[in-house]
Amino acid sequence: MTRPAVSKHLAILEKANLVVVVKRGREKLHYLNPVPINEIAERWIGKFERGRLRALANLKKELEGKDNG
């Protein structure tokens, strides 16, 4: 990638609040912002995770019921 292309991509990520910029003299340091990334993960992955957790809870109940009976 060319330097202008990288700068353009970083600017877009900064506008989306996915990257935080810290200026140090002539340097610009870019860091990932974990907050919106976590929100995306919660929104997209969370809905699949709920079903998996529910299935594990049901399996646990079933297995514990067989041990007691």
Identify whether 6 is part of a domain: no
Strands (E), 2-65: 19-24, 27-32
User: What Å distances lie between residue 56 and 52, 60, 62, 65, 66, CA to CA?
Assistant: 6, 6, 10, 14, 15
Q: Can you give the residue range of the structural domain that contains 21?
A: 13-68
Write out pLDDT tens, residues 14-51. 999 999 999 999 999 999 999 998 888 888 887 788 88
pLDDT band with cut points at 50, 70 and 90 for residue 67: low
Identify whether 25 is part of a domain: yes
pTM over cut 0.85: no
Number of domains the chain contains: 1
Identify whether 59 is part of a domain: yes
